[in-house]
Amino acid sequence: MTDEVLTRREGVAAIISLNRPKAIHALTTAMCETMIEALQAFAQDDTVGVVIIEHAQGRGFCAGGDINLLRHSALEDGGISGRRFFLHEYRLNHLLFTYAKPVVAFMDGITMGGGVGIAQPATYRVATENTRFAMPETGIGLFPDVGGGWYLSRLPGRIGHFLALTGARFDGAECLHTGLATHYLPVAAQDAAKRRIGNGEGIETVLSDLAEVPPEAKVAANEAQIARHFAFDTLEEIFASLEADDSDWAAKELATLRTKSPQACKVALHELVQSLTLESFAEEMAMEYRIAARVLVLPDFAEGVRAVIVDKDNAPAWNPATPEGVTDAAIAAIFAPLAPTEEWNPL
């Protein structure tokens, strides 16, 4: 148990509150274990009608997983502690995806990486004017995990592929527009929503009553271009499509893509293709665990974290440096099954 996750009751609502504000509530292994224990207890408690996931204080819901912990694992213990983190985080993701009681996630503020993994399985996903949603993993040599392959591959119009490759940030209006959020509430209405839900009012009624019409979703203006340029399942074809377009938008997205790890981008694309062939979320998490176990200890992850988070020079030396340098055989090795005793399994 850790005090970086707080729980409380408000009537029929059991509330899980992330409480690591200095790290924007980035998840640790202990936080995942504590959330699992709490969710399992609430599942057995007949007085709990709904689970609410929120953040206690600070400017974000959850910024992701503890990247520094993962980097130290990659550099110091061959990925052992990193794998342990992924094991518990993915079990948490799966538990939420299959949870028998309704879950309401308030995606207020920064909701990235691991934060997406605990918000997207929720029955109700509430965005606000402060929401900043992203899966930025390709910028540090990782890939959209925590179920990202499942959610992003199933968004309309290749929006998910665009998010997975570029790490683009969506605001609350864009989350509602694309289905990443189910409701849009002003920040000022959140406390009332939680109180009324705890009082036993219907969740849908409460959220609909307090919802407001969001601003126009900025991504809507670019949906046709996203669908056209990100329609391909190979990174080389996406690059070629953007290169053939002389618009400012295409130039901007091409420049963004060129800063990302070619290996991570190819992994992400293959992940999204494979995800659509899977029949269950458990299969998704098993696939993502295999990928995570491999990419954690490949050079691009430690180098990406160094460039973006440690030294902050934003000049990673990717290896391989180009899409052409990432072979089909290398991608196949990343996705290959682990030894039977090492494979991921749900709780």
- Whether residue 127 contacts residue 73, with contact meaning beta carbons closer than 8 Å, is answered with no
Token readout for 295 is 């990419």
Catalytic residue among 137, 171, 271, 300: 137
Measure the CA–CA gap between 65 and 142, rounded to whole angstroms.
12
Nearest to 168 by CA among 252, 271, 54, 292: 252
Token readout for 29 is 């292994």
Radius of gyration for the chain, computed over Cα atoms and rounded to the nearest angstrom: 20
200 is known as an active-site residue = no
Measure the CA–CA gap between 317 and 68, rounded to whole angstroms.
19
Token readout for 263 is 């290996």
CA atoms within 13 A on the CB side of 114: 26
114 is known as an active-site residue = yes
Q: Which helix (H) or strand (E) holds 197?
A: helix 190-198
- Whether residue 167 contacts residue 135, with contact meaning beta carbons closer than 8 Å, is answered with yes
Query: Number of H helices and number of E strands within the chain?
Result: 16, 10
Token readout for 58 is 């600070």
65 is known as an active-site residue = yes
* Length in residues, the chain: 347
Catalytic residue among 64, 82, 109, 114: 114
Measure the CA–CA gap between 38 and 17, rounded to whole angstroms.
11
| 269, burial (CB in 10 Å: exposed 0-12, middle 13-18, buried 19+) | buried
Catalytic residue among 108, 145, 253, 303: 145
137 is known as an active-site residue = yes
Residue 56 CA, chain-centre distance (Å), reads 20
Catalytic residue among 64, 65, 113, 167: 65
Q: Which stretches of 19-139 are DSSP H helices?
A: 29-44, 67-76, 80-97, 114-119
Which amino acids are annotated catalytic? 65, 114, 137, 145
